[in-house]
Amino acid sequence: MSITQQDVDRIARLASLELTSQQSESIQSDFSDILALIQQLQSVDTQGVEPMAHPLCGQQDVALRLRDDVARPAATTEQRDALMANAPATADGLFLVPTVIE
């Protein structure tokens, strides 16, 4: 799969980036290289390979330290208001963010 200049322009527009023509060409090449690598990785036969929980599991025993899943009481309105005091914009206990999807 190859990336076209129109693909790069669309991705840049969605990411709100302004690219020069030189940067755009470089990114197009980088994207194509990344997709080629992904295609190469997908061609590897992984049938029968046991998934690992951690990259080092193949070399040593790794014990993951997980906390107990314990239900906690819900925050009070006062606690929520104190936590949201630093937010630039809120409404009804929710964060307000600018619209980024057209």
pLDDT, one tens digit per residue, over 19-34 is 999 999 999 999 999 9
User: Residue range 84-99: average pLDDT?
Assistant: 88
Among 15, 8, 19, CA closest to 101: 15
Average pLDDT, the chain: 87
Q: What residue segments make up the domains of the chain, in order of their start?
A: 5-42
In the chain, where do the E strands start and end? 90-91, 94-95
3.30.360, 1.10.1740, 2.60.40, 1.10.20: which CATH number matches 5-42? 1.10.20
